[in-house]
């Protein structure tokens, strides 16, 4: 989906973060809604569009119609040929996602090898859920390990354990998300339960993998004492390096408009510093090394 250079919040040092498209979860606050579908898709930037109608004229599939003065794409008809993006001189249309071979991706990754070496950084695979592509992922992880590049996977943990088995030996660090300890609420806000996620986390911990836990804090969703206490209790029994508490923010809302998707948490505000400190204190009191932020 994207390759982001000079990332400093996705693991140690300076990193290249590779975002793989496709995710089995559907979190209400997802910052990267363009990562949810596995296939490429069209993103539309309304603020750039001059309503010239050229995209509509050039589309061989007749997949575009004008609604309220702006082009809307019918996904059922669009075959992602890219003609509309080529002809739009305003760059108001973009295809998100493309296929890359392991060789081509490695070419991008090794461009910044000097930064990894100097900063003890490396490469992070995020998404979406990178483990949806475990075979491809393992090929690229192995290629990184063969060059001595540190590897990190940012995962929701929602996959069959057999997919972890494929990549575990070539992964130096896991950034593992915990979003809610209550199975029903997890299902409500993420679209899937948390049983598999928590079991996989326990297994990774037992295997001795390096783990940073990442917990987004979303006001009114998972910041209550009951949930935080349950998370503290669960994590205190694991072998992890530290917890990152990530205050929810609304970044990413514009992307929903660009993808013609509905954003379900528009009324929510970022948790205050006081709330974040109180939550962090609970983790610290249980002896868990904890940071606020990435
Ligand atoms: S998306 Fe581009 S080509 Fe289509 S109407 Fe807007 S400016 Fe014109
Ligand atoms: S990508 Fe091709 S088929 Fe899809 S809307 Fe654009 S021109 Fe039409």
CATH number at residue 73: 3.30.70.20
Residues 70 and 160 in one domain: no
Nearest CA to ligand 2 atom 6: 84
Give yes or no for residue 63 CB within 6 A of ligand 2.
yes
> What number does the ligand 2 atom closest to the CA of 80 have?
1
Which helix (H) or strand (E) segment holds residue 290: the answer is strand 290-292
Give yes or no for residue 119 CB within 6 A of ligand 1.
no
Residues 92 and 214 in one domain: no
Domain containing 285 equals 2-37+98-292
Q: DSSP assignment, residue 219?
A: T
Residues 180 and 158 in one domain: yes
Q: How many domains does the chain have?
A: 2
Give yes or no for residue 56 CB within 6 A of ligand 2.
no
Share of the chain above pLDDT 70, in %: 99
What pLDDT is recorded for position 249? 76
Give yes or no for residue 49 CB within 6 A of ligand 1.
yes
What is the DSSP pairing of strand 173-177 with strand 150-155? Answer: parallel
Residues 50 and 176 in one domain: no
Give the CATH number of the domain where residue 241 resides. 3.20.20.70
Residues 27 and 46 in one domain: no
Confidence of residue 28 (pLDDT cuts 50, 70, 90): confident
Residues 77 and 104 in one domain: no
Ligand 1 centroid to residue 60 C-alpha, Å: 15
> Cβ contacts of residue 252 below 8 Å, gap of 6+?
30, 31, 32, 33
221-241 average pLDDT score: 97
CA distance 184 to 188: 6
Residues 258 and 133 in one domain: yes
Q: Which ligand is nearest to the CA of 258?
A: 1
Residues 30 and 137 in one domain: yes
Across all residues in the chain, what is the average pLDDT?
94
Residues 145 and 282 in one domain: yes
Q: Is the pTM of this model over 0.95?
A: no
């Amino acid at each position: 989906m994207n390759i982001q250079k000079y990332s400093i919040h996705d693991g140690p040092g300076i990193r290249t973060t590779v975002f793989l498209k496709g995710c089995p979860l559907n979190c209400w606050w997802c910052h990267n809604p363009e990562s949810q579908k596995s296939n490429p898709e069209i993103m539309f930037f309304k603020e750039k569009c001059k309503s010239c109608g050229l995209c509509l004229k050039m589309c061989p599939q007749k997949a575009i119609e004008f609604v309220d003065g702006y082009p809307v794409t019918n996904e059922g008809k669009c075959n992602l040929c890219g003609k509309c993006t080529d002809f739009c001189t305003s760059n108001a249309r973009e295809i998100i996602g493309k296929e890359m071979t392991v060789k081509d991706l490695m070419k991008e990754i090794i461009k910044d090898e000097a930064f990894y070496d100097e900063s003890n950084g490396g490469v992070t695979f995020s998404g979406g859920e990178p483990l949806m592509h475990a075979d491809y992922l393992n090929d690229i992880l192995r290629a990184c390990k063969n060059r001595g590049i540190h590897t990190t996977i940012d995962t929701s943990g929602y996959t069959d354990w057999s997919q972890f088995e494929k990549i575990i030996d070539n992964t130096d660090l896991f950034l593992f998300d915990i979003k809610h300890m209550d199975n029903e609420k997890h299902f409500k806000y993420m679209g899937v339960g948390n049983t598999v996620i928590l079991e996989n986390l326990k297994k990774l911990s037992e295997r001795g993998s390096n783990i940073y836990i990442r917990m987004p804090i979303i006001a009114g969703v998972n910041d209550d004492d009951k949930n935080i206490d349950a998370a503290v209790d669960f994590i205190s029994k694991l072998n992890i390096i530290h917890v990152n508490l990530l205050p929810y923010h609304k970044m990413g809302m514009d992307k929903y408009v660009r993808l013609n998707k509905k954003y379900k948490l528009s009324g929510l505000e970022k948790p205050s510093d006081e709330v974040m400190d109180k939550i962090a204190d609970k983790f610290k009191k249980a002896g868990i090394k904890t940071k606020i932020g990435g």
